[in-house]
Structure 1
Amino acid sequence: MTDHLLPIGEFARMCRLSAKQLRHYDQLGLLVPAEVDAATGYRYYSTAQARRALAIALLRKLDVPLAEIAAALEDEQVLSTHLRRVEAEIEHRRRTARALTRLLEEGLLRQEVTLVNEPSRRLVVHRTVCAPEEIGLAVGKCMAAIGSTPGLRWGLFPLDLDATQISITVGVETDEPGGDVERLPAGLVAMTTHVGPYEDVTLAYQGLFAWIYERGHRPSGLAREAYLAGPEHPVTRIVIPLEQSHE
């Protein structure tokens, strides 16, 4: 045994881990001891293994599952994917915090709302299911699936987000044949435009729904979002179909 090998207790202390964690990582094949005493079963670790041990600990703090950590440590591209996900989540939290600050300081926004008769529209769409809190991420994935087909992008969402999983649809307005087609019916709608990060769009929805209810209208069908610009400088038009009066 050389001076560079440490018993499990000392190695755990150096890496700020527990011996129990190190044994578990050994069982999973994530961090195998440099040497195991055949007579006693004691584990010994090289000081050079501290880098891998700390990397595992940091990945766990980033909520990377143990089952995925081995691939992340062996493949730089997999690791980069996890890091991009974490950075996106951090940015999402920052924007959400800014939206909360704005709500607390300014209260509900008074949206500029327009009441119009919307024409029917034909969309070629991509559909998915997600948790309500993952709508932004799901929209991004659907946009990528649609690709570069020219035309205005639309998102379709349920009016109520009280289910654990909801169906969303993202499509491009086009007359090109083929694909999964969704037709938006013509009719009376209330619409407003939100300029800024998508995380703040909830405030615009609240202002729009307040306007609708204050004037005695009733929402109907699916909420629609038209993505007029972005993602660097996003502009989102929110469209809520209204029940038609039969008087």
Structure 2
Amino acid sequence: MEALVVENLSVAYDKKTVLENANVSVPIGHLTAIIGPNGAGKSTFLKAILNQLPNKIGKVEILGKAFSPRSLVVGYVPQRNAVDWDFPTTALDVVLMGRYGHRGLFKRPTKQDRAIAMQALASVGMQDFAERSIGQLSGGQQQRVFLARALAQNAEVYFLDEPFAGVDAATEKTIIDILKNLKAQGKSIFVVHHDLQTVTEYFDYTILLNKTILAAGKTDEIFTREKLQQTYGGKLLMMEAM
């Protein structure tokens, strides 16, 4: 059984194909980077996997099963700009959302739920901000809270959409340390990532994507100049010149 199997996955917006015939199979227990140039369809790929897009075709299996929004085995951390940070809720309330699948949407959280949520906040260094409104938190703190929500779910497979975007160095280190710890526990983690300089340091598995999946495998085999050139084209030369 694989952590993720994608077969002939395609997505179109307004009759324009943004992801075409993507195919990949990723074994369990890897910390996987999803990389490619801006506009390559990385976030679309993630949303299509999680069945958030109605205009998709193809087959997706996570741990051998089709994804269900009610799945307890999948945790998701969206991009920060996809969240309404003005919504009146506290950091603790956000993390408790990760427990909905365990208790039901309309049931009050138990003492155990609160203990797990507080433990998740502590693991990302945010326990002292539990009662703080999410709108009052910095970008890095907000990202930590949403990671804590995923941790509280106690999933087996995690999908994170650019978790390091706009965060400070301390938050980035906290996040990658947590992700590496999850990997050490046998969890599977998929991360949309944009910083090529940290790929080999952070990830042991890599997916190269530009409108489709061009290559996937162990990072030390996939992350080569030839394959990056194929993925980024002239944009790679521009990035190296910066």
TM over 0.5, yes or no?
Answer: no
Higher relative CO (Cα under 8 Å, sequence separation at least 6) belongs to 2
TM-score by length of 1: 0.22
TM-score by length of 2: 0.22
